[in-house]
Amino acid sequence: EATQLSCQSPHLHLLLELPDVSYFGFVTVSANTDVDSCKEACLKNCSCKAALYRYNSTFSQGDCAMPSQIFSLTNIQNQKLPYNYSTFVKVQKPSAAQSPTQQPRPESAPASLEKKSNLIALIMGLIVAGSLAFTLLIWIYVRVNRKGKRLQEGHDEDGEEGENSLELLPDLPKRFTYEDLKSATENFHVHRKLGGGGFGSVFEGTLGDGTKVAVKRLDRLGQGRKEFLAEVRTMGSTHHVNLVKLMGFCAERSHRLLVYEYMKNGSLDKLIFKRTPETALEWKIRNKIILDIAKGLVYLHEECKKRIAHLDIKPQNILLDDNFNAKLSDFGLAKLMDRDQSHVMTQMRGTRGYMAPEWLSKKITEKADVYSFGVVVLEVVCGRKNLDYSQFEENEHLLQLVKQRAEANQLFELIDKCSEDTQQHGQEAEEMMRTAIWCLHSDPARRPSMSTVVKVLEGVMVMEPISDFSFLVPTATRTPTDAVEVTSAPLLASILSGPR
């Protein structure tokens, strides 16, 4: 029989753990705390009905919620979420002892015998219930410890989908030891750091043979491990001049690292957003970069055995070598699609400002990359971010400005004013912007394929003129603010095409 919680008997309260269980009404009351402090605070608070704990990889640091009412709990064991959750539900142990202040009234012999029988039954029930509760707690303890031990030893929680399955993949890149990469980066020294974001940091490294590399170290477990597996399985079997080469990886205990070819000129955002008239890219280089991005997407969308949607095309994921050849990187969010598959259903992911409108319906095709490409092209030609809150309010959204200038036939006014050379190629720059606008149709079916875009950029095909620009609405005004960077399911590299 369940015992109702009573504030008069706090010494009888205990917390039962429900791992991988969350509550829809999670409201943080204590951030950056450990799980024991969260549980203790709930036990001391009479109105707290459960301690909800949200964390990244360990119980040592996370967020605590203490709802006063619990309506519906959710099992998230098989869901891909950016956090781990555990719920500790407050329950009250029944008291078997009779209160000393209560004095039983004299009863007849039959009534006394009946009460003794009931008391014996009650005691037996309590013993059985206590045994079951003790067994449940032991099972939870063993499971949590086994899970923690597997994480410490570097085992993936998806079983056969974990790191051991990497050994079965063809064309697997070189496997480095952690000590190899620790030495190559001078123990990941801060002066070697090239940047960071998402699930890790990137460091410049030099291998034993003198080869310069970029080493990406994943700083989080959990969802970060799934991104790691997706990247190894995808990049290990894709080979194209406009894709960053994955030279190797490390999966040793809790360490997850990816080793890429070194790209001397870094990411595109540093060259188009942080520039001066002296450092601004000339038009020839901008034009080449845009064409390289388009060719890389053609390979992913049309030249692999299965279509690959990158799903996170943005300047930060476009790297440039010493000759300004552009290459796509960061395939942790990519998705595979069959040739006859119209779309995939997937969780919202990506980066605000670059996400196509269809993300709201979660029905995604490779045309989501076409939209992101259109945004990047406008940023390259205009020399500014699509969302720039340092501008006056009416100029914050680049797409809104493009819509206004396109309707007034004044696109020339948006061309990067830091580059005199780009200004001198104004007509070509305007045509490039019109191609980008074509890629930004709200209806995916009306967007061109990337192979068509390449033909237009190379002058082999002429695009139809656009007279209605009403579809140019910034996605930031209709995309939830929490729609950022959620990892995808791992990809199967065995069905990708070979080198070309």
Residue-by-residue pLDDT tens, the chain, 500 positions: 557 778 888 888 888 888 888 877 677 778 788 888 899 989 988 888 899 998 876 777 788 988 888 777 888 776 767 678 889 998 888 775 544 444 455 555 555 566 666 677 777 777 777 777 777 777 776 666 665 555 444 444 443 445 555 654 556 788 999 999 999 999 999 999 987 765 678 999 999 999 999 999 887 555 556 667 767 776 776 789 999 998 999 988 888 899 999 999 999 999 998 777 788 999 999 999 999 999 999 999 998 877 888 889 999 999 999 999 999 988 767 776 555 544 455 556 678 889 899 877 767 889 999 999 999 999 999 999 998 888 888 888 999 999 999 999 999 999 999 999 999 999 999 999 999 999 999 999 999 999 999 999 999 999 988 989 999 877 644 444 334 333 333 333 333 433 33
pLDDT number for residue 368 = 93
Those residues whose C-beta lies under 8 Å from the C-beta of residue 114, and which sit 6 or more positions away, are none
Task: Measure the CA–CA gap between 247 and 205, rounded to whole angstroms.
Answer: 12
The CATH class, in words, for 10-95 is alpha beta
Nearest to 203 by CA among 211, 212, 191, 192: 192
Task: Measure the CA–CA gap between 83 and 415, rounded to whole angstroms.
Answer: 42
Domain definitions of the chain by residue range: 10-95, 160-261, 268-495
Output the six-digit token pair for 132. Answer: 């079951």
CATH superfamily, domain 160-261, is: Phosphorylase Kinase; domain 1 (3.30.200.20)
Is 381 in contact with 415 (CB distance < 8 Å)? Answer: yes
The secondary structure of residue 53, as a DSSP letter, is E
At the topology level, CATH places domain 268-495 in Transferase(Phosphotransferase); domain 1 (1.10.510)
Kindly tell me the sign of the dihedral angle through the C-alpha atoms of 428, 430, 433, 434: negative
Q: Is 20 a catalytic residue?
A: no
Q: Is pTM, for the whole model, over 0.95?
A: no
pLDDT number for residue 481 = 38
* Residue ranges in 81-177 assigned as alpha helix (H): 109-152
Output the six-digit token pair for 337. Answer: 């699609």
Those residues whose C-beta lies under 8 Å from the C-beta of residue 398, and which sit 6 or more positions away, are 375, 378, 379, 382, 384, 385, 386, 387, 388, 414, 474
Output the six-digit token pair for 307. Answer: 């279509």
Task: Measure the CA–CA gap between 87 and 51, rounded to whole angstroms.
Answer: 6
Nearest to 194 by CA among 221, 175, 213: 213
Nearest to 219 by CA among 245, 197, 193, 187: 197
First CA to last CA across the chain, in angstroms?
69
Q: Is 216 annotated as a binding residue?
A: yes
pLDDT number for residue 485 = 38
Task: Measure the CA–CA gap between 450 and 444, rounded to whole angstroms.
Answer: 12
pLDDT number for residue 19 = 85
Q: How far is CA 222 from the centre of its chain?
A: 11
Could you tell me if residue 301 is left (phi over 0), alpha (psi between -120 and 50 degrees) or otherwise beta? alpha
* Percent of the chain as helix, strand, coil, to the nearest 5: 40, 20, 45
pLDDT number for residue 328 = 95
The one catalytic residue in 156, 180, 292, 312 is 312
